[in-house]
């Protein structure tokens, strides 16, 4: 969906969007920033008494629910319309690319913080944080498309695999 079409849908002109955000890049970056602010810091209140398994399960369950929300679906549609190549994204949409990079850094920091008091290898946390969003998007996609797999079992298996890896 184009930024011009979105402007029309919300009842403003493209000129209004340009005045407020400069161009489509500024608009998309603002959308990403706004949704990040609405999401807030989901895991800020990590229970320091919680086990590794409880924490991993909380992250998996939160993402499973959150990735089906309207904001997440809008972001997925936006990302699908953007260039896949990072160099092209940086060149064509520098503000949007910067916002997406900030999301990645924030997510990595959130994951490090979630397990900070458990003596888990930071490199393993980094690796897990790198694949969890994609894995969860896959499970949410299965849920949305309909699946013959038991997705509760799939989430349980993913949780168990992550706990085993982080414990090792």
User: What angle (nearest 5°) sits at the alpha carbon of residue 37, between those of residues 36 and 39?
Assistant: 65
pLDDT of residue 41: 67
Greater model confidence, 147 or 54: 54
pLDDT of residue 37: 78
Greater model confidence, 164 or 48: 164
> Tens digit of pLDDT for each residue in 43-84?
666 677 899 999 999 999 999 998 988 888 888 888 888 999
In degrees rounded to 5, what are phi and psi of residue 121? Answer: -55, 120
Residue 25 within a domain: no
Residue 53 within a domain: yes
Domain count, the chain: 1
> Tens digit of pLDDT for each residue in 13-37?
778 777 777 888 888 888 888 888 7
Residue 129 within a domain: yes
Residue 153 within a domain: yes
In degrees rounded to 5, what are phi and psi of residue 11? Answer: 85, 25
- For residue 55, give its domain range: 45-167
Residue 158 within a domain: yes
In the chain, % of residues over pLDDT 70: 92
Residue 37 within a domain: no
Residue 9 within a domain: no
User: Is residue 1 over pLDDT 70?
Assistant: no
| Model confidence, pTM | 0.82
Residue 17 within a domain: no
């Amino acid at each position: 969906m184009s930024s011009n079409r979105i402007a029309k849908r919300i009842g403003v002109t493209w000129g209004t969007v340009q005045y407020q955000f400069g161009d489509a890049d500024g608009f998309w970056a603002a959308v990403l920033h706004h949704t990040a602010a609405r999401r807030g810091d989901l895991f800020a209140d990590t229970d320091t008494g919680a086990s590794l398994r409880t924490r991993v399960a909380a992250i998996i369950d939160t993402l499973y629910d959150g990735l089906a929300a309207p904001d997440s679906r809008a972001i997925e549609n936006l990302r699908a319309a953007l260039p896949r190549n990072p160099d092209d994204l940086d060149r064509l949409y520098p503000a949007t690319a910067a916002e997406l990079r900030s999301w990645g850094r924030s997510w990595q920091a959130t994951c490090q913080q979630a397990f900070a008091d458990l003596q888990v290898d930071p490199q393993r946390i980094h690796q897990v944080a790198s694949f969890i969003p994609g894995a969860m998007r896959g499970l949410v996609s299965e849920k949305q498309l309909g699946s013959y797999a038991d997705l509760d079992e799939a989430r349980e298996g993913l949780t168990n695999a992550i706990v085993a890896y982080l414990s090792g």
